[in-house]
Structure 1
Amino acid sequence: MNHLRPTLAGVLFACTVALAACGGNDTGNDNDPQGEITDADIVDLGDLVQLAPDPAAAAEMIGDPATILAESKRQADVARTDVAAVFDFMKQAAEGAPAAKGVTPGGKAWARWVKDISGREIRFSVARMTDDRLRYLVQGKGADGTYKPLLTGIFVKKAEKRGGGRFHVNLSNVSDLYQVPGADGTLHFVFANHKDEVRGRRIAYLNVTRREDPMAPAANYGADLVRITGKGGRFRSVGMGDLIKAAPGNEVFALRVQWNRDEGGRGAAAMASLANPQSPVLLGTAHECWDDQGLRTAYMDDYAANDATNPNEGDVSMCAGFAKEDVPESAASLSGADPDAELDALLDDSGASDVTEAEASMMEDPGT
């Protein structure tokens, strides 16, 4: 959605991927009982952050590119496009040997990489907490000489580069440092990549506003992604923006998408008006099916005003092996959420759910 684009997911992803680029460096200490920091301790988020094809155009008839599919791709690809844009920039920060390394007073290994990028000093720090827990910290040096946290969090290591974790991105500090994306609030990223057959992540935005639209209400919303390796997956999200230009205020759009890469998929959506942000009004719901080329095969909504241009056609009861399901009306709100139960279980199994919000928010610099 245009109002609160999830652009800082890119910063989060880029920071963690940039850390991964420092593999092979000698960051250890022979006297460290917990073991040196190595490339194996840096999470690889893999296809949780990879780019997807450009979204299709909106559909109005069977045979056109699917509308809900296009919107789901747009919401997901906004973040991943920023990954690509920020990745090369942030990757520079982790090139070469660490600027400092050592052991904390508690006997835990730590390492830090420091680079000047576009006139700003960026610090990446990794500190071992236990055998399977590592604390990540990304800081930026402001014009006043102080270091502000851009990313904090915990990686729960289950295997080399894999496990679960929780990272927080301070949108306000990043925007202060680089003027983009011009947002205030916090992004929470929780993930599980410890299984070969399935991986997942949850993005949540807390009290996020856009500086370009200071009168808009702060929003809390999120997106869940489950990828089933080589087969397909599910995506659920809630976004906000001025989706209907002729209507007053913003709208909130909640959707569920399921896909099978060999057959196609289906989506469901609910949209509500935020003309009065304290009292969202449901405008309508929609269901859509598409084939393996992303072309609409069936469509149904309960918004009669658009029947002439976007008619109900085909059977939406079963598509690509997925039965019809509705998006809860409660998801289409300023505090919208539509959590995926399988993702909840996956995050629990990875250890990501054991990382508390307070723990992931702690800013501990091991080198000071």
Structure 2
Amino acid sequence: MRRLGAGRSCHDVGLMSGHAESLASNPVADIAFTAPARCLIGRGAKDQVAALVRERGQKVLVLRSASVLWADVLIEELDTLGAQVTSLTARGEPTVDQVRDAVARARASAAECIVAIGGGAVIDLGKAVSGLCVSEGDVLDHLGLGPDPAPKLNAPLPFVAIPTTAGTGAEATRNAVIGVPEQGLKISLRDPRLVPDLAVVDASLTDGLPKSLTLSTGLDALTQLIESYLSNRANPVTDALARGMIGPAAAALQTLMTREDETARDTLAKASYLSGLALANSGLGIVHGLAAVIGSRGGAHGAICGRLLPAALTVNHAALIKAGRPTARCEEIERWLQDGLGMSLRPFIDRHGLASLGALHCGPPLWEETARNALSASSTQANPVRLSVAEVHQILKLSS
């Protein structure tokens, strides 16, 4: 379990193959694809959840966001089907203490299946509980903070992830970000078996989300698609996922900044899930490397990513030219964003009130330290080109 700086940007990566541009000289791509065993996508998918959960066990622990009223409906349906349900409301991003409490509840109820309903933080909590409640030792042991290597998790309980925001893609990944407040850290618990057994992506659960939350989570999904496409570990499968979704995701986000629209919600929910698949199998880049560091100081992860993305694209493009590397992907992305948003990304995020870098706890005095720390973040290792501290510092300056 690797230590990470902070934030929900700390995702796992799965593949080591090169860009499509390099496949001509090395035509064999070795791909081992990570994904949930099953995914239901579409409006009305939530209506099938109770029966599918019941198939996975009689004793069910439901982790939920307080604001998601549909969770009450699911619990009633599970009761009708004869399930013994224990419900726990999750608040904020999971901390060590919250994970301990949820693990204790799972063990006390002899849970046979874990269900998480909410945003990425709730889904991460569910992943952690599904693995830790059947494993020996404390959560801190498994985060690798001590002198000894982290023990291996036992086979996790069946886990069902039901996102109610469209952005993190946590329902498709194999890591759970856990905060250690006393040390100012967030650490990613990773195991390939933490990928949900079932992901249920029903955009009706995102209908009517506030504009600010739609913007920040949508930018998270968009950043994950873009960084996966630019990643030095990209492969033909992740290329297909990202290439076909960046433009539609941008257009859907633009629509939702002006009006509520079911079709746009459907597109953004799909984009979020596919972005999770892409990042889990290709890695990310400098935006998420920076977000890992900045996130330790607070601020919404999606807002951090969205604020950094325009400058990161500019700096990466220049660095690729300097290194004599192909830039076609950068130019494709710029075109897709322009077409989808009706303008460049920076004016779009400013027009719709995305938080400034200073408001996200990264003012100029912190730029040098942030740039240096971001270069060692796990996400940065998949950036399409190696950047210098000065170049990362430039991303922060251009983002201000």
* TM-score of Structure 1 vs Structure 2, range by shorter chain: under 0.3
Higher-Rg structure is 1
Q: Whose helix proportion is higher, 1 or 2?
A: 2
Structure number with greater CO (CA < 8 Å, separation at least 6) is 2
Q: Whose strand proportion is higher, 1 or 2?
A: 1
> TM-score scaled to structure 1, two decimals?
0.26
